């Protein structure tokens, strides 16, 4: 049984996150552990420090929790789990630093699931980016960000640049989601003027062992500005990425993909890093 963490910020319950876990449980039994994180009031945070900080600040003194809403969301989560035959637990320790709690919880989990739209959306777009970015960095297990209208993907797109991070992400996805092995898989790599993708024989051997229906696509450098539309044009798609390395693809994902595609909440993204 896989332990799946569902991270909510206390004030928001994500239908997309629960739908993802519900569908996963149909394929393989999971233990759904809801972690209810502190709901930070950004206005209070600014007043606490007497002005606008230079970067994101995560402090427990600025927590503003609506206990009634938190309880309603916890009750909703446990009732939905009961209705759908999902084993569940709740962790809601508001005394801990947000990122410390995420790191501690993910160390003992197989997968973290968060909403690309509702996760700390009350803080505004820029600050929400900081929270998501830091959660991806600090997580000790793979993370999947799902849109609110999540549907099981028909296609799996794997970002590959020859780096160990991209290979690690592909392997982690394969281990965690054997139910997706029959999907159409597309290995995408950046064309940097090379005649072929790095370690072609090895990556083909790795992927073909799990995804018999796979093909390779060379993505031109100037297509980065069209990345979102290209992904959406592939139908119900899930993207697999090894984020935050130093490669060109990783930089593209961090600077362009996370800022643009993620904001439109259309495509689920699986992220894993060492």
Of 122 and 154, the one with more pLDDT: 154
Over the stretch 54-67, which tens digit does the pLDDT of each residue have? 444 444 434 455 67
Residue 244: pLDDT above 50?
A: no
Percent of the chain predicted with pLDDT > 90:
33
Residue 49: Cβ within 10 Å count = 13
Band (pLDDT 50/70/90 cuts) for residue 130 is low
Give the torsion sign (CA, 105, 107, 108, 112). Answer: positive
Residue that wins the pLDDT comparison between 257 and 198: 198
Q: What is the CATH number of domain 155-271?
A: 3.40.50.620
Q: What distance in Å separates the CA atoms of residue 15 and residue 170, rounded to the nearest whole number?
A: 26
Burial of 84 (0-12, 13-18, 19+ CB in 10 A): middle
Confidence grade of residue 270 (pLDDT, cut at 50, 70, 90): very high
User: What's the whole-number average pLDDT of the chain?
Assistant: 76
Which CATH number among 3.80.10.10, 3.30.1360.70, 3.60.20.30, 3.40.50.620 corresponds to the domain 2-146?
Answer: 3.40.50.620
Weakest-pLDDT range from 34-38, 81-85, 211-215, 238-242: 34-38
- Fold identical between 2-146 and 155-271? yes
Write down the domain spans for the chain.
Answer: 2-146, 155-271
Residue 20 φ then ψ, to 5°: -60, -50
- Mean pLDDT for 240-252 is 56
Mean pLDDT for 168-192 is: 90
Q: Are 111 and 31 in contact (CB under 8 A)?
A: no
Say yes or no to pLDDT of 250 above 70: no
pTM value is: 0.80
Does residue 167 have a pLDDT over 70?
yes
Question: Above 80 in pLDDT, residue 89?
Answer: yes
**Predicted local confidence at residue 163, as pLDDT:** 83
CA-CA-CA-CA torsion sign (175, 2, 10, 75): positive
DSSP-H helix ranges across the chain: 15-27, 42-49, 67-83, 98-107, 125-138, 164-176, 200-208, 227-232, 248-252, 258-264
Q: What is the CA radius of gyration of the chain?
A: 19
Chain segment 10-31, per-residue pLDDT in tens: 567 888 899 999 999 999 999 9
């Amino acid at each position: 049984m896989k332990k799946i963490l569902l991270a909510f910020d206390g004030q928001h319950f994500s239908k997309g996150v629960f739908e993802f876990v519900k569908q996963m449980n149909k394929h393989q039994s999971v233990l759904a552990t809801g972690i209810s994180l502190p709901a930070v009031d950004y206005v209070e945070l600014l007043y606490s420090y007497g002005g606008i900080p230079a970067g994101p600040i995560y402090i427990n003194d600025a927590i503003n929790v609506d206990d009634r809403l938190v309880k309603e969301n916890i009750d909703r989560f446990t009732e939905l789990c009961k209705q759908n035959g999902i084993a569940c637990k709740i962790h809601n320790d508001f005394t801990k630093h947000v990122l410390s709690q995420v790191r501690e919880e993910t160390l003992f989990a197989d997968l973290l699931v968060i909403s690309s739209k509702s996760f700390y959306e009350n803080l505004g777009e820029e600050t929400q980016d900081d929270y998501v970015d830091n959660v991806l960095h600090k997580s000790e297990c793979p993370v999947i960000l799902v849109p609110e209208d999540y549907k099981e993907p028909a296609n799996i797109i794997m970002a590959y640049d020859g780096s160990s991070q991209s290979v690690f992400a592909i392997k982690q996805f394969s281990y965690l989601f054997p139910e997706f092995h029959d999907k159409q898989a597309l290995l995408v790599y950046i064309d940097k003027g090379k005649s072929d993708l790095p370690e072609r024989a090895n990556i083909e051997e790795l992927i073909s062992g799990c995804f018999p229906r796979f093909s390779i696509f060379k993505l031109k450098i100037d297509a980065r500005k069209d990345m979102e539309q290209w992904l959406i044009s592939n139908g119900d798609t899930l993207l697999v990425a090894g984020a935050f390395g130093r490669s060109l693809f990783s930089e593209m994902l961090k600077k362009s993909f996370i800022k643009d595609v993620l904001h439109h909440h259309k495509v689920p993204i699986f992220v894993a890093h060492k």
